[in-house]
Structure 1
Amino acid sequence: MDNRRNPVLAESPLPHGLPDFASISDDDFLPAFGEAMATHLAEVESIATDPRPATFANTVEALELSGRDLARAGGIFFNLVGPDTNPQRNEISRQLSTLLTDHANTIAMDRRLFERISALHDRADELDLTEAQQRLLAKRYRESVRAGAGLGPDEQEQIRQISSRLAYLSTTFSQRILDDTNASAVLVDNIAQLDGLSAGQVAAARRAAADAGHESGYLLTLELPSSQAVLTGLTDRSVRQRVFDASISRCARGNDHDTRELVLEIVGLRARRARLLGYRDHAEYVIAEETAPNPAAVVELLAELTASALRAGGRELTRLNRFADEEIGAADLTYWLERERRAASAVPLDDFGDYCELDNVLQRGVFYAAGKLYGLRFIERTDLHGYHPDVRVWDVINEAGRSIGLFLGDFYARPSKRGGAWMNNIVDQSMVLSTQPIVVNVANLTKPDDGAPCLLTMDQLTTLFHEFGHALHGLLSAVDYPSQSGTSVPRDFVEFPSQVNEMWALHPDVLSQYARHHATGEPIPAALADAARDAAKTESAHSTIEYLAAAQLDLAWHRITADDTVDDVAQFERDALRAAGFTGDLIPPRYRSAYFNHIFGGGYSAGYYSYIWSEVLDAETEQWFLAEGGLLRDNGRRFAEATLSRGDSIDPLAAHETLIGRTPRIEPLLTRRGLVASEER
């Protein structure tokens, strides 16, 4: 008999428990999850049958610290599926989606556990708990109620079936998006049709075509949002139209990757579940757990911003039509915005990317700012390996010289990686468990040819700093309990620290460190640096409108009740956008319903508003940093103590108000996004 531990579950001897990915095969995952779930259920059974009266320690804390094998397996597997999937991992993911949902429901609906948790919840004020413990008890109680623990057997069974089916549908939705995004790439035969793209973009298109099996030609692969970066450069209008059409028709082409029937089933099931649990709709069910007080508050914010954005969009379009001197179509809008921006700039920004080589930005920009603000150093560990050869590993060292965690960077696109950029936790920080965080930043940059630099666009530069803001939230966490660690905060607060970190991308003290010409090493000219900052200060109305349209679309889908019948995704989308004020077709939502992975495949259902909700706080915090002197260690310390280190152990909104000294206002955000006309300022 082989008594060796499954390598997924075996404790790793590597620093901070970094998984030994080389020792793990895909065949190990399902047995590992099966064993981990069985162990977890045995631990829970012991808690539920404890003959002693319920206490915080023997019930709530015991539940919090149970399931460590399951957490280890999940930290490994679900970190792989997004950035480096394959058919076997996809199938494992589909199976686990229902198995893990059923497992979680079994625990959350356990009547014995619920009685113990309820007894503690009813006398919480008598228990002499810390704020973190009070929040943990309240959250555990709400989780049980929201899972259906208080319902009768028939309703509980309905909740089980709905939750299990939703887990499967969401996983399938994400997988179909990746498949159809790959299948929708646009093949161009003549290099002349790529006029306007950089040499690096052209080389990447040729390499993509070869990788896809084409003997000749150039393959323009698609990004996840509706807007495609190549459209800002391509001078050939017909190619722009092909790329645009391919982007907005994804997953709605009637092929095997079509997601429209999944969308309808998902929203119907979510509405049914909400009703069973006593909510009007899924939006009310979701927002009950966020910092927003209710859906009406979200509707009010989005309506105010939409009205301002559409007014700004009208001014922008009028100006752009005059500039282009032609009828601008939806596929042309970002092209002409870029042309106008270049014409308006006293200094051309075409060369800005030459000063933004990835490794330089990372080491002397992202890491430099983290050092100045938070006293961190990043030491690359070439002796440690990630889950793919492109993944790099850094040891994160604090001012006392102690390693506080590991940071993994996975920056380059590949067909096995879903689109977009994100942060993952492999290991959560917890003082009670004595665990330090292992966090991953994932991006989809075009991998350069050997010996060539990876040069970042302005958007990619901002994204790098944004995702590292999430990483800092995880790395600087200093909480007792793993479920309160780092980014485990309300969804409409989670984007706040990452948005704050964007402010350092072009800050003079940071830009001067990393902005060196990739070939000559010369520092960026002052005039070019100033022009880049000026360009970044003015957000196009187009980008705000496409975001708000997506946020409004998300809310519309999730305000459907169990009594409503929807059978046409495209018609519902059109009606919802018109009702929100988006009457034209020039600017599609950032994600159309059929490929809106955030809300149908990820965790942002009824929560895509979170980005703009968090940005209200971010705009205020940026002003606070600048008023307090900018890139100073004391400012970083205060911000970390208020937010980054606290996770969900405190009320995040209250902590933010304490930091800035008042309730946040919307005006700084309106000004930043250019949503106030000059005569209104």
Structure 2
Amino acid sequence: MKKVIPFLTLALLVVGCNNSKEKESKSKSEDEMSTENPLFSESTLPYGAPDFSKLNDDHYKPALLKGIEEQKNAVQAIANSEEEPTFENTVLALEKSGELLERASQVFYALTGSHTNETLQAIQEEMAPKFAAQNDMIYLNDKLFQRFKTLYDKRESLNLDAESLKLLEVYYENFEIAGANLSSEDKEKLKQYNEKIATLTNKFGKVLLDANNAGAVIFTNKEELAGLDEDYLKSIENEDGKGWTVALLNTTQQPLLSSLENRATREKLFKAAFHRADQGANNTSDIIKELVEVRAQKAKLLGFNNYAEWSLQKTMAKSPATINKFFEGLIAAATAKAQVESDEIQKMIKSKGGDFTLEPWDWNYYAEMVRKEKYDLDENQIKPYFEMYNVLENGVFYAANKLYGITHKERTDIPVYHEDVKVYELFEENGDQLGLFYVDYFARPSKRGGAWMSNFVTQSKLYNKKPVIYNVCNYPKPAGNEPALLTYDEVETMFHEFGHALHGFFAAQQYPSLSGTAVARDFVEFPSQFNENWALYPEILKNYAVHYKTGEKIPQELIDKIKNSGTFNQGYSLTENLAASNLDMQWHTITADKKIEDVAKFEKDALNRTKLDVVHAVPPRYRSTYFAHVFAGGYAAGYYSYSWTEMLHHDAYNWFEENGGMTRENGQRFRDMVLSRGNTMELESMYKAWRGSDPKIEPMLKARGLK
């Protein structure tokens, strides 16, 4: 099966809610648990989807431990085999190991991200070092590596098909990157580093999510929340009716800052977000210092100057130098545009009678006024046209139908892990089954922040499996039976995450390790960002942007306003992203002999060195202390990929514009040459074969209004 172990650190802990099923099974013996554990065998539901009607918290740990043991036995059998290594008895055998482990892990980590509790958190904490050790058990096994090396050295004479050859090459590269060429003594050191990294990333996620919840701001005076509509106030009202709680999202800026009229309230909310994890019991600074030091030591042991050099080996960018050069082409233009925007906002403050200097907590509030003045665009005018499920079914799905011919049907017979989750079955144009798609859109305390896509079941011809995929977002849940109305940014997020899903649904690989989204970080965001382009495409927009009360289609006047404002605030947006990306890169280009004493000072100096602090009111999208992508997730030295793939997606959309736009022919060509290829060929070659040239940065600069 696909090796999930290297990627398990992508899962982040979230705060818990108790699962009542936990109590029901406490008295059962271990043997009873084993015979009754639904994870020990493949689900009988359609597509092998997990049967949440039978699963409870007590099933995960036994299944994970048994999965680890089964894979360990399989790996030892391969490594100790006296047979001459062949593709079948070595490469394919390793690919098939860990079937139970993947099945259990995919479900377990879906829940720890989307609907966790204290039991699952405890299991996750316990399992993190075990998974690191399991990864080392495979990739630091010298006997196993020598079998792969024997095959790799004579790969041209093996007469393998292209995908099988690629699988051999990917495994061999993984062995080398993981440290298979180290001495026995150094391998033991590396194992200690890997276990420590796994423990620290897990700890960072747990502490941060405690910080997010502890940082929620409670207001007891309704006047402090002036500017928020009544429906939203109902949705955040405390159960005792004595106040309102504003939860923190994972980014520095908080969406409500664009609406809150009270400046003191804005400052209070912003500072709660900004300082959520840099003080008190939930301070992550010590974890960061230790984590970057261990990562640097690991890189040195593996023969690299820093962690970024080691981490970037299999990416499109390849090296920190390439990324820094890429940034150099953006920073000056982004900060110059941000300064122009800052000056405009300062003028707006003055025109409204304000006698103060623009601060970060003022930006979104007064930027919204500037937008209204320049483009006459009010977000509240737009939201009634963006009812959540209408956007999904008549926007996101409709675009996929026009481009790729796929259709959908809601399935109410598939068990889900939370009442807010919906399931759809997707079909090919000819009616063939494509897969199952779960959507989990509403925020809740048991869910981590952000939005993401992943698989319950990964596509592979080897196992004759079609994909089971889920999208998770964090849209505010309306009170009662009120409809969920989205901002345009939230609409784009929905299109974005379904772009990831399409990458998984269109996978057509023999081997699960190469399937779908199993590509480099600086490519995996390309299909998702590209899919955002269809949100405003005229034919698509008019099909889903319908007023939830009147049924009226969105007027052309509002469409024009949305489009005309498309380059608004782009200096700010790009600068905050570049600031976060550069923080990530500077943390991970630290050498092993450098010890960081003060996280806040390092952060300040890093932004100053790259001239990303020149606009006072533009903070990084994530400060170090709550930068979960890189300190609790899989984006260490990889956050740049969002900007890198933004370049790809604008360049790709430019090709569509040059070749007739949204047509079935163009969609099919993109599916056949990009979305269906997984990791079966070099990504640069894949893109160039489809595009006809290397990607250019000019379309991105134009789209951002920077050129």
Do the aligned partners of residues 88 and 621 (structure 1) sit closer, same or farther apart at CA in structure 2, a change above 3 Å counting?
same
> 1:261-300 counterparts in 2 under 5 A?
261-300=286-325
Structure 1 residue 511 corresponds to structure 2 residue 541: yes
Structure 1 residue 307 corresponds to structure 2 residue 337: no
Structure-1 separation of matches of 2:97 and 2:407:
33
Structure-1 separation of matches of 2:604 and 2:583:
9
Aligned partner of 2:257 among 198, 217, 231? 231
Residue identity opposite 1:607 in structure 2: G
Aligned partner of 2:387 among 357, 364, 369? 357
Q: How much has 1:348 moved relative to structure 2? A: 4.3
Partner of 1:152: 183
Structure 2 counterpart SS, 1:459: helix
Structure-2 separation of matches of 1:41 and 1:634:
47
Q: How much has 1:16 moved relative to structure 2? A: 0.6
Structure 2 counterpart SS, 1:21: coil
Contact 2:338/2:569, CA 8 A, preserved across alignment = no
Partner of 1:415: 445
Structure-1 separation of matches of 2:65 and 2:368:
53
Identity of aligned residues (%): 40
> 1:30-179 counterparts in 2 under 5 A?
30-179=61-210
Contact 1:538/1:672, CA 8 A, preserved across alignment = no
Deviations 1:655-677 (A, max 9, x none): 1111121111111111111223x
Aligned partner of 1:434 among 456, 464, 483? 464
Q: How much has 1:9 moved relative to structure 2? A: 2.1
Aligned partner of 2:406 among 331, 354, 376? 376
Structure-2 separation of matches of 1:264 and 1:464:
35
Deviations 1:82-128 (A, max 9, x none): 01111111110011111111011111111111100011111222222
Structure 2 counterpart SS, 1:350: helix
Residue identity opposite 1:334 in structure 2: N
Structure-2 separation of matches of 1:196 and 1:354:
17
Contact 1:643/1:652, CA 8 A, preserved across alignment = no
Partner of 1:679: none
Residue identity opposite 1:29 in structure 2: Y
> 1:154-233 counterparts in 2 under 5 A?
154-206=185-237, 209-210=238-239, 215-233=241-259
Q: Which runs of 5+ in 2 are unaligned?
A: 1-30
Aligned partner of 2:374 among 344, 348, 354? 344
Structure 1 residue 671 corresponds to structure 2 residue 696: no
Residue identity opposite 2:520 in structure 1: P
Aligned partner of 2:454 among 420, 424, 445? 424
Aligned partner of 1:615 among 627, 637, 646? 646
Structure 2 counterpart SS, 1:408: strand
Structure-2 separation of matches of 1:34 and 1:150:
29
Deviations 1:7-49 (A, max 9, x none): 1222111011111112112112111111111111121122222
Structure-1 separation of matches of 2:63 and 2:179:
28
Structure-1 separation of matches of 2:230 and 2:548:
15
Structure-1 separation of matches of 2:188 and 2:79:
21
> 1:21-36 counterparts in 2 under 5 A?
21-36=52-67
TM-score, L = length of structure 2: 0.93
Contact 1:159/1:273, CA 8 A, preserved across alignment = yes
Structure 2 counterpart SS, 1:4: helix
Contact 2:114/2:446, CA 8 A, preserved across alignment = yes
Aligned partner of 2:524 among 494, 506, 509? 494
Structure-1 separation of matches of 2:430 and 2:66:
40
Structure-2 separation of matches of 1:577 and 1:347:
33
Equivalences, count: 670
Partner of 2:6: none
Structure 1 residue 333 corresponds to structure 2 residue 363: yes
Contact 2:341/2:569, CA 8 A, preserved across alignment = no
Contact 2:379/2:487, CA 8 A, preserved across alignment = no
Aligned partner of 1:243 among 269, 274, 282? 269
Deviations 1:432-469 (A, max 9, x none): 11111111100011111222110000110110100110
Partner of 2:435: 405
Do the aligned partners of residues 348 and 560 (structure 1) sit closer, same or farther apart at CA in structure 2, a change above 3 Å counting?
closer
Q: How much has 1:274 moved relative to structure 2? A: 0.3
Pick which of 585-594 and 555-564 moved more: 585-594
TM-score, L = length of structure 1: 0.96
Contact 2:530/2:652, CA 8 A, preserved across alignment = yes
Pick which of 307-316 and 470-479 moved more: 307-316
Structure-2 separation of matches of 1:347 and 1:329:
23
Structure 2 counterpart SS, 1:430: coil
Partner of 1:598: 629
Contact 1:385/1:391, CA 8 A, preserved across alignment = no
Aligned partner of 1:567 among 597, 607, 610? 597
Deviations 1:176-210 (A, max 9, x none): 2111111111111222222222333222221xx32
Contact 1:539/1:674, CA 8 A, preserved across alignment = no
Structure 2 counterpart SS, 1:23: coil
Q: How much has 1:247 moved relative to structure 2? A: 0.5
Contact 2:344/2:370, CA 8 A, preserved across alignment = no
Cα RMSD between the aligned structures?
A: 1.3
Residue identity opposite 2:248 in structure 1: L
Structure 2 counterpart SS, 1:332: helix
Structure-2 separation of matches of 1:582 and 1:368:
40
Structure-2 separation of matches of 1:195 and 1:321:
22
Structure-2 separation of matches of 1:305 and 1:345:
26
Deviations 1:591-642 (A, max 9, x none): 0000000000000000000011111110111111122222211111011111
Aligned partner of 2:280 among 245, 254, 261? 254
Deviations 1:140-173 (A, max 9, x none): 1121122222111211111111101111111111
Residue identity opposite 1:471 in structure 2: A
Residue identity opposite 2:318 in structure 1: P
Residue identity opposite 1:223 in structure 2: L
